[in-house]
Each structure stands twice: as C-alpha cells, then as structure tokens.
C-alpha cells in the first residue's frame, strides 16, 4: 500500500532502453565494489581451507580464546578451535542457507505478488487475505513451531524464517505490479498480442528487480540474525556446526575477554550484507 502512487512514466521509459540492452549492461561503480567484496568472501570461504590444515571442530581446551598467532591466524574460540577454519566454514554454510531462505521467500512472494497485482479481483483479494493472516500470525511463533517439529535442523529454521519473510516481497511486488499492469506500455504489448512471459520479462521485471533485490539483501541479513536471536534463547543449537548467527550467540559470553573473536562473525556478516547491497544497486522505495 505504500508504493501505490504512480511513479511517473519517465523512469519506465528510461528503463525500457536499459532493458533492451540489459544483456551487456555495464556495471555501476558500486556494483563492481559489491562483486569484488563478495568474491573476496567466497575466496576466503572456499580457498583458505585448501591451504590451511585446520579442522573447524578440532578442539584444544588448553588454548582457548587465544590471540591470533601463526598457527591460528584469527585466534581460537572458547573451545580452542581455529577461528579461521570456523569463520570460513560458517560463511560457506550461512551463505548457502541465507540464499535458500531468500529464494524460498522471494519466489513465492514474487509469483503471488505479480499474480495478485495483475489479475486483480477475487484472486487479489484471496492472496491479500492470506498475506494479512500470515502477517498477523506472530512470525516468531511460526519459526518456533517449525524449529520444534524438526529440532536440530538448520533448514527448518531458515524455511520458517522464509515463511514469514515472503509477505514483504508479496506486498511490494503486488502494489508495484498493480500500477505497471495499467501502464500504456503493458497495455500496448498486450494489444499487440505478446504473451504473458514476454510482458513480464520486458515490462514488469526491470521495474520490480531493484526493489526485490534490495529486499533480498536485507532479507539475507535478517535470516542470519534471526538464527542468532533464536540461538540466544537456546533454540536451534547444533554443535559443533559453525554458522555465523550461532557463532555470534556462542561467542557472546566472551565479549570482554576476547572481543576480537566475537567481532569476526559480525564482520563476516557485515561484509556479506554490504556486498549484497552494493550488488543490488538501487534500493526500493
């Protein structure tokens, strides 16, 4: 309901040109930064373990919370495990799970949003009612319940979080689609007999993409932080797995003794989210 005012035609026209050459579009300055940052994270997560012989679960209780050294370049955690190996493992896992969560939220949200906005009528009313009910249902409750049904499984946590987050996409996409569907371009394409897929690709997606991608960038952070919040109330713990959100929770008690250890998963998440934001480029309204 917040994006229901007409954004004017000018941007659509501009993007029309953009869309026709989108295959060989030049990346913006910010997006190049985003790519480099993400690439650096990926290299760190996948390449470092190849050169470093460290097991993210191997403990050494005699050297817990050790400062960075040659043997452990990022220090050790509260059980004496190599932080370098753990952060790398955690990025691999969390990145995958966050993407899973984002995709499971964005896809249904996008599909339902476009359908509701385009078709209107009872279809719109039905989907909007479902969305309102989901919003009204405490998200925490859904996640807690799913976590309780299959305890100790990360994917249920992330799916539960996705079940809550899809509504955001739905709302944004629906209101944008409603306006776009009545625009002259879509109208003329329809009259010219172009199929739905073509109209979606040509007119809707370029307009929706920046909004959806930014929601996704924030969504990735939201889902990882949600896991760490749940860990804080002792839900979803699954030792000895390294996962960014849970690492923050596990290392929190040592904030005073070893702040650099707590800072590592936080920084990893920061860079991850920042790279997504830069990649997403334009933010939604």
Partner 1 sequence: MTNHWRNLAMAALGGALLFPINVHADDRVDVVAPWEINSLDPVQAGHVYGRMQIAETLVDTDLQGNLVPGLATDWQSSDDGLSWRFNVRPEVRFHDGSRMTAESVAQSLNRTLANPGVLSQADIDSIEADGDAIRIMLNAPYSALPALLTHYSTQILAPASYTEDGKVQELIATGPFRIVSLNTPQRLEAERFDEYWGEAPAITATSYLAAPRGETRALMAQSGDADIAFTLDAASQARLRMTPSVALHAEPIPRTVTVKLNAAREAFDSVEERRALSLAIDRQGIARGVMRVEDAAANQLMPAGMGAWHLEGLAAPEKNLEKARRLLESQGWTPGEDGILQQDGQPFSVTLTTFADRPELPVIATALQDQWRQLGIDVAVNVGNSSEIPSSHNDGSLDMGLLARNFGLVPDPLAIVRQDFGPQGGDWGAMNWSSDALNSAVGELISATDEGRKAALEKQTAEILHEQMPVIPVAWYVQTASVNARLGGFAIDPFERSYRLSDLHWEE
Partner 2 sequence: MNRVISTLLLQRLVQAGLVAWVVGTLTFILTRALPGDMAFRIAAGRYGYEQVNAEAAAAVQAELGLDQSPLIAYFHWLSDLLSLDLGHSLVSGESVVSELAHQLGHSLDLALMAMLLALVIGVPVGILSGLRPNGWVDRLALVSAVALRSLPPFVIGLLLIMLFAVQLGWLPAAGHGGGSHLWLPAMALALGLAAVSARVTRHGMARVAGSPYYAFSRTRGLSEGQTLARHGLRNVAVPVIAYLSVQLVYLVEGVVVIESLFAWPGIGHALVHAVVARDVPMIQGTALVMGLLFVTLNTLVDLVSLYIDPRRRLS
Q: Between 250 and 279, how does the x/- string for binding to partner 1 read (CB under 8 A)?
A: x-xxxxxx----------------------
| 147, 235 contact by CB (below 8 A) | yes
Q: What's the Cα-to-Cα distance from 72 to each of 47, 62, 137, 281, rounded to whole Å?
A: 16, 14, 46, 37
Tell the smallest beta-carbon distance from residue 246 to partner 1 (Å). 11
Q: For binding to partner 2 (CB under 8 A), which residues are involved?
A: 1-3, 5, 129, 132-133, 135-141, 144-145, 148-149, 151, 168, 218, 221-222, 225, 228-229, 232-233, 235, 245, 248-249, 252, 255, 262, 266, 269-270, 272-274, 277, 283-285
d(CA 227, CA 94): 10
Burial 123-152 (b: 16+ CB within 10 A, else e): ebeebeeebeeeeeeebeebbbebbeeeee
Q: What percent helix, strand, coil does the chain show, rounded to 5? A: 75, 0, 25
Q: Which two tokens stand for residue 204?
A: 């809707």
User: In whole angstroms, how close is the CB of 150 to partner 1 at the nearest point?
Assistant: 12
Sign of the Cα pseudo-torsion (259, 264, 266, 270, in order): positive
User: Which residues between 46 and 65 bind partner 1 (CB under 8 A)?
Assistant: 57-59, 61-62, 64
Cβ proximity to partner 2, 252 vs 260, nearer residue: 252
| CA torsion through residues 259, 35, 273, 106, sign | negative
User: Tokens at residue 92, please?
Assistant: 């691999």
The reply to whether 128 sits near partner 1 by the rule CB under 8 A is: no
Contacts (CB under 8 A) with partner 1, residues 159-178 = none
User: Burial level of 259, CB count in 10 A (0-12/13-18/19+)?
Assistant: exposed
Q: Which does 57 bind (CB under 5 to 8 A by kind): partner 2, partner 1, none?
A: partner 1
Q: Residue 240's binding partner, choosing from partner 2, partner 1, none, with beta-carbon cut-off 5 to 8 A by kind?
A: partner 1
Residues with Cβ within 8 Å of 193's Cβ and at least 6 positions away in sequence, in order, are: none
Name the minimum Å distance from CB 233 to partner 1. Answer: 9
Q: Which is nearer to partner 1, 138 or 253 (CB)?
A: 253
Q: Does 228 engage in binding with partner 1 (CB under 8 A)?
A: no
Contact partner at residue 195 from partner 1, partner 2, none, CB < 5 to 8 Å by partner kind = none
Chain residues binding partner 1 by CB under 8 A are 57-59, 61-62, 64, 78-80, 151-152, 234, 237-240, 250, 252-257
């Amino acid at each position: 309901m917040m994006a229901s005012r007409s954004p004017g035609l000018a941007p659509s026209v501009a993007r029309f040109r953009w869309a026709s050459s989108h295959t060989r579009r030049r990346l913006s300055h910010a997006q190049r930064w985003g790519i480099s940052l993400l690439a650096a994270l990926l290299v760190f997560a996948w390449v470092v373990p190849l050169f470093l012989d460290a097991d993210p679960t191997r403990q050494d209780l005699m050297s817990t919370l050790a400062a960075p050294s040659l043997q452990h370049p990022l220090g050790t955690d509260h059980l004496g495990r190599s932080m370098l190996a753990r952060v790398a493992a955690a990025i691999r896992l969390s990145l995958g799970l966050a993407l899973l969560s984002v995709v499971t939220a964005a896809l249904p949200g996008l599909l339902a949003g476009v359908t509701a906005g385009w078709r209107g009528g009872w279809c719109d009313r039905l989907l909007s009612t479902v969305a309102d009910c989901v919003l009204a249902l405490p998200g925490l409750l859904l996640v807690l319940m799913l976590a309780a049904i299959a305890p100790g499984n990360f994917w249920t946590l992330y799916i539960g979080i996705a079940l809550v987050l899809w509504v955001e996409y739905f709302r944004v996409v629906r209101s944008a689609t409603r306006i776009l569907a009545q625009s002259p371009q879509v109208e003329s394409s329809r009259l010219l007999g172009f199929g739905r897929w073509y109209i979606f690709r040509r007119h809707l997606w370029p307009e929706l993409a920046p909004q959806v991608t930014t929601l996704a960038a924030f969504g990735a952070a939201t889902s990882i932080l949600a896991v760490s919040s749940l860990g804080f109330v002792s839900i979803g713990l699954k030792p000895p797995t390294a996962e960014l959100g849970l690492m923050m929770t596990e290392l929190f008690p040592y904030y005073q003794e070893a702040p650099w250890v707590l800072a590592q998963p936080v920084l990893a998440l920061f860079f991850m989210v920042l790279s997504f934001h830069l990649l997403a480029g334009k933010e939604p309204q």
